[in-house]
Amino acid sequence: MRVLLIDPPRSTKALGLGEDKLGLLYMAAILREKNIDVRVYDAHIENNPFKDLKSLLKKYKPTIVGISIYTPTRFDAFKAAKLVKHADKETLVVAGGPHVSSAPRDTLENIKEIDIIVVGEGERVFLEICNSVAEKKSFEGIKSIALRKEGDILINARCEPIKNLDSLPFPARDLLRKYKHKEKSKYHFNMQMPDREIIKLSSTCIITARGCPFNCLFCAVPELWGRNVRLRSPENVISEIKHLKEAFDVDSFQIVDDTFNISRKRVFDICSVILKERLKVKWHCHMRVDNVDREMLVIMKEAGCFITYIGIESGSQKILDQVIGKKITLDKVRKVIGWCDELGIKRSCNFIYSLPGETREDVAQTIALMKELGGKQPFGPTMILPGSRIEKIAKEKGIMPKDFSWSRISPYKYYDPTSNSFLPIFVENLTWNEILDIFYKHITWQSTMRTKNYIFRILYRLLQIRSFTEAKLIFYNYFNFLRVFFRNLKKQKRKGAKTFKK
C-alpha cells in the first residue's frame, strides 16, 4: 500500500505564507509507525503547480490519497481530487480538515471524486481506513467518517478524541524537502508588522493543545477539535522543541494553538523549562487578553516570545458582549497592549466589521480603537465559515440562501473580490458599497507589503476565471473595487486618509 498526503497547489499564488500542515505530518508519522509507505506533498510550501502533482501521481501510483481541505482553498483541493481520479479512478480519495469536517454532506453531494471524509481529528481514523483497505473490509463501521451508501450520504457518529496527546509521535517533518535537506531559507517568510517593520516569521509550527472552550460567532474550530481542551504535557512540548533544534537546526517556531495561554500555569511551566534548559529559541503565538497578566508576558518574553497575535475583533464593547461573545473588555485590551509595548513584544491585533446588528457607530468605535493602538492593524469584513454560528444566523435571516453550497460557485454575490477563496461576507446593516468602502480604504492604510499583496491578487485573479457565473461575480466586485479604490486615492492626495463616518 502506498499513501500520498496532499496539501494541494494553489490556483492563485500566495505571497509570504507557507506554514507546516501539521495534520498531514501527524498522520504521516502515525502511518510510518505502522510501516505504511507514505509521502507528503505540500505544494504550498514548495510552490509547486498542479502539473507537478500530476507527475507525482503518475510515478508514485498511490493506493490512497489524503487531501487536506481548508475553506479558503477548497476549490483547489477539489481540483486536486479530480486530478487523482483522472490519473487512476481506482485510487481511494479521502478528504479531511476544517472545511469538510464542517460540511461533509455538501462536499460528498457535489464532489464525486471524493470517496470518504474524515470528520474531525484524523490520525487514528485515517489509519483505520488504511487498515480496512489492506484487509479489504467495509468502511461503514468506522467512526468519524462520512461516505456514500446506495445513493445516500452516511455520516457516522464521532469517535472519542485522543485524550493523551503525548501518545502521538512528533510530526514527520523529515518527509518535507525543506527539512530533509535543511533548506533554511524556507524555514521563514517575511511579514510586515503593524509598526511597518518587516521581520522574518517562522513557518515551523508546533501545536501544544487541541480544542477551544469559547464559542466566538465567526469561528468553526469546535467542529474540528471540539470544545474540550486537551493539553500536551510541558515535557512533551519541550522534547519536540529539542528535536527541532537537533534534527533540523530549527531555532524559531510558531505555536499554533487557538489560545496558547488557555492555562496560566502551563504557560509558566513551558517557559520555565525553556529558560532552565537554555534553549535559546524565538517563537510567536496567539493569545486572549482575558487570561493575560504582566508577569506572564515577562516570562514569555524571557523564554523567546517576540510576537503575539491577539483577536480583539471590535472596538465596541456592545458588539463584543452581545454579538461575538468574546468575553473580553476593552479596558483589559488596553492594559495588555501597554504591557506588550513596555516589554518589547510585538503585537498584531485582528479586527473585523460587518457583524450582525453592527451599526456605523460601532464600526467608527473599532476604527478609533485601531488608531489608538497605532500601526496598521489587520482589519476586514466578517467572513462566513461553514459550521460557525454566523453561518446559521445568515441562513436564518435570509442573508445566505438556505441551499447555499460550499462546493459550487454560488450566485451569492457578496465575496471578497481580492481573493480566490469565494468566502461569503456577512451583509446586514451596512450596505455592500459601505463594506467595500471601508475595506478598500483600509487597504490604503495597510502596510506596503499588504497593499502590494492585494493588488497582485486582484490582477492574478483575473486570469483564474473558471465559469460565466464566476466571471459575473468577479467583475461586479471589481467594478466596486475600482470605484472605491480610486476615489479614496484621490481623497488621500487631497486630504490624506479619512476615518469612516456614519
Which residue is it, cell 502551563? 266
- pLDDT of 502 above 50: no
- What are the pLDDT digits (tens) for 121-163? 999 999 999 999 999 999 999 999 999 998 899 999 999 999 9
Q: What SS3 class is residue 380?
A: strand
Tell me the DSSP string of 95-160. EESHHHHH-HHHHHHH-TT--EEE-S--HHHHHHHHHHHHHT--STT-TTEEEEETTEEEEPPPPP
Tell me the DSSP string of 420-489. SS--BB--SSS-HHHHHHHHHHHHHHS-HHHHHHHHHHHHHHGGG--SHHHHHHHHHHHHHHHHHHHHHH
- What are the pLDDT digits (tens) for 286-307? 999 999 999 999 999 999 999 9
- pLDDT of 18 above 80: no
Q: Output the CA torsion 435→437→441→446 (10° steps).
A: 20
Q: What residues have CB less than 8 Å from 343, skipping those under 6 apart?
A: 294, 297, 298, 301
Which residue is it, cell 499583496? 453
Distance CA 310, CA 312 (A): 6
The residues with which 475 forms a beta bridge, in sequence order, are none
- What are the pLDDT digits (tens) for 421-462? 788 999 999 998 888 888 877 765 555 555 555 666 666 666
Q: Are 133 and 94 in contact (CB under 8 A)?
A: no
- pLDDT of 322 above 50: yes
Q: Looking at 40-49, 122-131, 273-282, 364-373, which range is the least confident one?
A: 40-49
**Can you give the length of the chain in residues?**
502
Specify the pairing of strand 230-231 against strand 209-210. antiparallel
pTM score of the predicted model: 0.90
- pLDDT of 416 above 90: no
Distance CA 330, CA 315 (A): 7
Give the pLDDT score at 12: 65
Distance CA 156, CA 151 (A): 16
Give the pLDDT score at 500: 46
Q: How far is CA 87 from CA 43, 84, 90, in A?
A: 18, 5, 9
Name residue 361's amino acid: E
Domain 187-382 fold is TIM Barrel (3.20.20)
- C-alpha 466: how far from its chain's center? 24
The x, y and z cell numbers of residue 499, run together, are 476615518
Structural domain spans, the chain: 2-155, 187-382
Which residue is it, cell 473558471? 466
Q: What residues have CB less than 8 Å from 495, skipping those under 6 apart?
A: none
Phi, psi of 209 (to 5 degrees): -155, 155
Domain 2-155 fold is Rossmann fold (3.40.50)
DSSP secondary structure letter of residue 323: I
What would the 3-class secondary structure string for 50-95 be?
HHHHHHHHHHHCCCEEEEECCHHHHHHHHHHHHHHHHHCCCCEEEE
Q: How far is CA 49 from CA 32, 79, 126, 149, 357, in A?
A: 27, 12, 26, 34, 42
